[in-house]
Structure 1
């Protein structure tokens, strides 16, 4: 077992003085709950940008990612339009969450200080892109969308690469 790492220090400023700070609901949670400062009703298919009432200053080399809450998705059909949303280390504005009501019939009501998303802070690497004429081979190669099968619409649940062969067959027509 490895010793627990010390928490990363993140400076936070409340835009709304009454909003609870993001917090982890359970030990071991990856995401800290973000709350909205605004009451709002979303009709079926409607989206909105909800304020969270907080701004953060991340250390260089870190980013925060705004993830959906699984309970809102399962119970209400609420999703995040750009999930996960990215908060860069240099951003100092209020964190806002773009929510959408995907339920075809029911509206969703958000009350002030309802939990609407999770904030996950992660260390991120800077890369240096190096242009080359060819990339090295790999086992996957260019296999992308649906390349492993696994769904009845793309050739059963046994895996395989039926989708890629269908695309290849179509390309030749």
Structure 2
């Protein structure tokens, strides 16, 4: 059962704004995770709860990318501080623990646990483009290929169509790991 609801959905289900606010007080049974997004149980949110909240907050066209997308698809990586989300160019909703990246090239999402995730090659390149440490980029690409989430060829294809911003280290690491 999903425990994430928007305040609009709760109002549609018959809760008044006052009831929702009261339920989200420190002594209430619910928690407001993001503006307009509620966890309808008193326990601390899991990472999956946070990811579902982010997608409710950023809208139905948003796609989770980066480490969270790779972790949900089977990679072994450190848990990121931010949730990296791809959204259309007109999206403006953001929050301190959301890294919102506007894109004109949204991926066809992979759906897992009710989440819309970027395909592995896209998620890996999105994550690697933001990594300043060359060794970390090599480790990331190696982890994704070792987990059989994508091939070096798929990573190269993604690099051909993605923004060139931040890809120099990614291209260098890919050439180092998997020379053609």
Same fold (TM over 0.5): no
Instruction: Tell me which protein shows more helix as a share of its residues.
Output: 2
Report the TM-score when normalising by structure 2: 0.22
Report the TM-score when normalising by structure 1: 0.23
Q: Which has the higher contact order (CA 8 A, sep 6+)?
A: 1
Instruction: Tell me which protein shows more strand as a share of its residues.
Output: 1
